[in-house]
Structures are given as structure tokens and as C-alpha cells.
Amino acid sequence: MKPDCAAGLPLDWGCTDLHPKVLRGVLGSYPTGVAIVATRCPDGRRVGLTINSFASLSLDPPLVLWSLVNHSPNLAAFRDCSHFTISVLACGQEELALRFASSAVPDKFAGAPVHDVPEGVPAIEGAVATLVCANDQQSPAGDHLLLFGRVLRVASVAATPLVFHAGRFTALSAA
């Protein structure tokens, strides 16, 4: 008998139904932070999007990584940029996360609380943490491009981070 992947623990170990909808549901059980990655194109246009694929990679040298789906209209901007920022959003910045996640918003930066870092790329004001990165290297991986950033500078404030879990925004609760 095939285990029912949607109903708790399967009778035998492991569900082999890896349909994207099933896999998305399982991966949604892992809470992630929410961040906006941003850069500036050679023509001066600002590009940014919401990500939850951000992760630390190495402390020496200081490296982080994130991924972007291969069919993204922003792929060339991030693949070819020299620098980008990763702004880890704070609780209360859900509207920004939704704006930068929406393809229906033509200018995601219009009215957004942003400032340029010394490298000339935009960063989100009020973020829990901001990492300014040199675009170090990329690697294709499945239907995504992994982008590795060499961290050049950081800024942080004491605030509660925005969290995404089970298809919705939430926050960490104090222990």
C-alpha cells in the first residue's frame, strides 16, 4: 500500500510522490527568514525581489548564498551585477515582502524605504540585518542559479525578524 503523503507520517519510511505541489508543502514545514535582495543595473535601474533561499555558507572567507529560478526576468541583472545587498526583513515589513515578491508591481522601489550603500546598490531601511556582497560566483543547480556573495560589510539592529512558515508570514515567539 502506497503511503498517503498528505496525512501525517507514512506507514513506511518516505513518500516518493515528489510532485512540485507535494514537495512545496513539505518544504514549507521548514521556517525561513524573509529577505529582499537588491542590485543596480549598469543603466541605473534598481532591481529587487523577495527571497527565502538565503543561507550562510562560510565565515572565512565570509560567503553567503541564495538562489534564483532560471526563468526569472531578473536573472541577468543578478547574474551580471558586481554587488548586491541582502536585507533580512523585520516583523512588520510584510507589505515590503509582498511588494518585492509580486511581478504585478512595476517599480518595487517606489515609496519603499531604501538607501544606497557605498557600493551603489539599494538596501531596505529598517531591516533586521543587511549584508553588502560582491557577486563572487554562480553555479547552476536544477531549475535555479545559485549566487554566492562575498560579504563586504554588514549592518544590524535589534528587532524581531519576519519569518515565513507553512505558506504564511509569522514571527518568532520569545522562549
Q: In one letter, which amino acid is 165?
A: H
- Mean pLDDT value across the chain: 90
Assign 3-class secondary structure to 73-95.
CCHHHHHHCCEEEEEECECCCHH
pTM value > 0.75:
yes
pLDDT digits (tens, 9 = 90+) for 58-98: 999 999 999 999 999 999 999 999 999 999 999 999 999 99
Which amino acid, residue 49?
L
pLDDT at 6: 53
Structural domains of the chain, with CATH = 20-161 (2.30.110.10)
